Amino acid sequence: MLTVKEVLNRKYFESAKVVAGQTGLSHAIKWIHILEVTDVKQLIKGNELILTTGVILKDNEQGFLNFVRQLNDLNVAGLCIELGMYIQTIPESVIKLADQLDFPLIVFQEIVPFVGITQDLHTAIIHQQYDILRQLEDYSQKINNYVLKVNDKVKILQYMQKYLNVDIYFDVNKGTSLAIPDKKIENCKKYIDLLGSKHKAKIEVNLFDQLYGTVYIYSEKREMTELDLLILDRTVVTLSQFILRDLYIEEKLESENRKFFEKWLEGENSDDELLYFIEEFDQKLKHNGWMVMIHQLRRKNAIKDLTNYKINLRQALQKEGFYTFIVEQSQYLIFIINDLAQGATYKERMNRVMNEMIHQSKQDMLIAVGKYVTHYNELKESYQTAQETLQIRMKHTELSYFYDELVLYHMVKVLQNNSSLMQAAMEKIEKLSQYDSKHNANLIQTLDVYFQCNGLKKETAEKLFIVRQTLYHRLEKVEQIIGSDFMKYENRLCLEIMLLMTKHNYYEGVKV
């Protein structure tokens, strides 16, 4: 792109002299503008070279200073002033300000035809624009041919890096970021932040209307040009298509492996079969922990683009240190998850993923995570416990996603499956239910909250939004119906479990 320094060597600039802002001569020029007004905000787009006779600046040093500041703020390339009729000299304060701003200030010591300057420079700019488009088309053809020969997105970015001779940083939103040439990622971020805006450029990589990452190009040695930006844009388009192709291929392979995954979940694969399959993907996977997560879509066709959802969720899990295989079954998505991080923080990391995905997709779904197991041949146990957790969360959606945080509810479920114990619980709670129905009371709810508050009457009354006298009256009725010793340890424990066993039948409860 045409720069201020290059313009000084062209026709009509023989009598021109740079009086300030020498360090800004590398500023790019996109257009030439003749201005004889001071309010230019609506007239400037950026990167113009301004020509003026100075009629608006005559005998107005403060106005001159404001004019220079305004042009610099609007990213103008430089200011050319014709000395003579209106201005004989440039004030020292203006020269000092232009030097501080690295803003080129050029004077014509002889009268020059502004029309001739604009025609000459506009012609040069148009020719350069044509040359940029030719170079861009040439680059596009080369990189498209190159992509057909490679199978790694890093090589695509390396190709651009060599072509432009700049540094590249690919900040992946839900995955591993990379720098070219290779260097510490943390250092790249800090370095890019410190660079001036003209020495760096970035374009986002968006897939399915979601941010996948951001590609930065930067150089301390030179400013980014229009060609740099166009090539960056073209490369990001190519990169996006490459990543999408890879993601769809991955989804296709998983679909082909569906029968294997289903046998794995049911514990029907031999140890040798599992080991061979896992090592085909990554040797490290066999040494990590495993778990199964189930997503039940609550409405038919709840997620219009299921592939989009699966790809985004896989990336989110990868960012948090999980490797994922996905099985699609009717209204269920089953995730076989390997914990690459091997840390005790897996729940915290999984919660971050789930919260992010629910917020992004705004889908009506039910999620359950099975038992964390230490070996790949124990996956059946994690799958079964995930299914059990899903059944519990169908009735209690406020509960945790994780199996091992719902042990009490799993115990209650076992008790509910015992007809004798369930009948005993129903008979006990039925007495309270009959009184509630007959007198429009709330004894079951009161007893439940009273247990949750550990027998603290003041706290119980506050949670129920009743006065303490009303609570005392209700507790007296409870004593009359089920006995005055209901707060003894054994009786209380039994009653709490019975309330949990029958809650779905008589009372859904309140969260305390």
Domain boundaries, the chain: 4-121, 153-252, 260-405, 418-506
* CATH of region 260-405, choose from 3.30.70.270, 1.10.240.10, 1.10.1040.50, 1.10.3720.10: 3.30.70.270
Residue with tokens 């939004």: 465
pLDDT in tens, the chain (512 residues): 788 999 898 888 988 999 999 999 988 888 998 988 888 888 888 889 999 998 888 888 898 999 999 999 999 999 999 998 888 889 999 999 999 999 999 999 888 899 999 998 998 888 888 888 899 999 999 998 888 888 788 999 999 999 999 999 999 876 778 889 887 777 788 889 888 888 999 999 987 777 888 999 999 888 888 899 999 999 999 999 888 887 777 767 777 788 888 899 999 989 898 998 888 878 788 888 999 999 987 655 455 567 777 877 887 888 888 989 988 887 888 999 999 887 778 999 998 888 877 776 666 678 999 999 999 999 999 999 999 999 888 878 888 889 988 888 888 777 777 788 778 778 778 888 888 888 888 888 888 888 889 889 899 899 889 998 999 999 988 888 888 888 888 778 888 788 777 776 665 554 44
Can you tell me whether residue 82 is helix, strand or coil?
Answer: strand
pTM for the full predicted model: 0.55
Q: Which fold has domain 153-252?
A: Beta-Lactamase (3.30.450)
Span 4-121 CATH architecture: 3-Layer(aba) Sandwich (3.40)
Cα(446)–Cα(34) distance, rounded to whole angstroms?
A: 82
Can you tell me whether residue 163 is helix, strand or coil?
Answer: helix
Q: For residue 44, give Cα distances in angstroms to 114, 227, 491.
A: 18, 22, 82
pLDDT of residue 239: 92
pLDDT of residue 235: 94
Structural tokens at position 495: 């009653």
